[in-house]
Amino acid sequence: MMYWNAKEMNNFVNYLLLFRDRLPLDECEISYSKPCDSEEYSEIFRFANMRIHYAVSLCQTKVLKVCIRNVQVWLMHGNSTLMSQFLRRVELTGVTMWKHSLDFSSCPTLEDLNLCSSRIYGPKISSQSVRCLSITQCQFNVDTGSRMRISAPCLVYLQLADVSGTAPLLERMPLLVTAFIRLGRGGFGTCTHEAYGDCDECFPYDGYYYGHDDYGASFANYHGSNDSVLLQGLSGATSLGLTTIDPNVFTFRKDLKQCPTFSMLKTLLLNEWCVAADFGALVKFLQCTPILEKLIIQLRLEKYSWY
C-alpha cells in the first residue's frame, strides 16, 4: 500500500476540489488525529481554512465538522468569519478560535453549535439563530483572564461543561428550556471560607476579571463585580443543572448574592457546592424557585481508611 506525505496529500485534495468545482455539499468533515512535528503541522494545515471557506461559502454545505486531535489548529484567523445562508450545524473539536471567528451572525440559519476541546479567545460568542449550544472541555481566555460574553437569545438548550479559564457571562436567553453547567477547576476561583468576598482569596476574582480586557472592551460598563455572571442568563429555564468539579469554586455562590427568581424552573440538579456553609446556597435557591417540583443533589461518598 502506498502512503502519501502531507504535501502529496494536499496536492491530491487541491486537485480534487478543483475538478469538483462548486457543486453543493450536504456535509463537510475535516479530521486529523496523528501527532506531528512543527514542519508537518505547517504543511498539513496549510490549506485548512481555505477548505473550510470552500465548503461553507462556495459549496453551501449545511453541516461543518472539524475534529483535530493531538494538535491545536487556528481556525479562521485574522478577520475571517463563517458566512453562509445555508449552514445549520457546526461541530468544532481541537481548534483555536479568535475574535471574529466567534461571531456567527452571518450564519442566519445556524441552529446547532458544538465546541469541544478548543481554545477560545475573544470578548464574545454571538449568534441570533442558534438554538442548541454545547461547549465542553474548552478554555476561555486562559492567557488574559478577560471575561467572555455569550449572546444567543434564541437558545433552547445550553451545555457548558468542564471548561476552564474565566466563567463566561451569559446574556439573556428568554427561550431557554434546559441548561446544564459544570464548572471545572482551572481559573474559576476557589475559596474555602463560608462567606464569599470576605477574604484575600476572593479579591483577585473581582479585581482581575472585571477590568479592561485585552480586546479593547471595558467590562465595567455592563457588569459590576456583585452582579450575576451565569444565573441571570439561566433564570428562564425549566430544567437546570448547576454543578462543579471542585466544591470550592465560588462562581455560583457569588452569583447567589444577586440571585434572580427562577419563575419557570421545575427541575434542579445541584452537587456538593450548595451544601457548604450551613446549606446557605441551597436555602437561597429554594427561596428563588417558587414552582420547583424536583430537586436532585449529587453527593460523593468519601473513602475512609481505617487503622
pLDDT for 69: 81
The pLDDT value recorded for residue 74 is 73
The better pLDDT of the pair 38, 251 is held by 251
List pLDDT tens digits, range 206-253. 433 334 444 444 333 334 445 689 999 999 999 999 999 887 777 888
Going by pLDDT thresholds of 50, 70 and 90, the confidence category of residue 286 is: very high
Which tens digits make up the pLDDT trace of 42-91? Answer: 787 788 888 898 999 999 999 999 998 866 677 765 556 688 999 999 99
Residue 31 clears pLDDT 80, i.e. is over it = yes
Write b or e for each residue in 36-55: b if 16 or more Cβ atoms lie within 10 A of its Cβ, otherwise e.
eeeeebeebbeebbebbbbb
Q: How far, in Å, CA of 300 to CA of 221, rounded?
A: 40
The reported pLDDT for the residue numbered 198 is 43
pLDDT of residue 66: 93
By percentage, how much of the chain surpasses pLDDT 90?
Answer: 45
- What pLDDT score does 145 carry? 73
* pLDDT attached to residue 2: 64
| Count of all residues that appear for the chain in the document | 307
Model pLDDT, residue 191? 54
Measure the CA–CA gap between 125 and 105, rounded to whole angstroms: 10
Closest among 285, 306, 304 to 295, alpha carbons compared: 285
For every residue of 161-189, DSSP letters joined together read EEEEESPPEE---TT--EEEEEE-STTS-
pTM of the model: 0.84
Average pLDDT across the chain, whole number: 82
pLDDT tens readout for residues 160-182? 999 888 888 999 999 999 999 99
Burial 205-231 (b: 16+ CB within 10 A, else e): beeebbeebeeebebeeebeeeebbbb
What's the mean pLDDT in 259-282? 90
pLDDT score of 227 = 67
Which amino acid, residue 275?
V
Determine the pLDDT at residue 49. Answer: 85
- Is residue 196 pLDDT above 90, yes or no? no
pLDDT-based confidence at 258, cuts 50/70/90?
confident
If phi over 0 gives left and psi between -120 and 50 gives alpha, with beta otherwise, what is residue 155? beta
Mean pLDDT of 255-274: 93
Domain ranges of the chain: 111-298
Output the pLDDT for position 234.
96
* 113-146 pLDDT tens trace: 999 999 998 889 999 999 999 999 999 887 777 8
The cell for 191 is 475559596
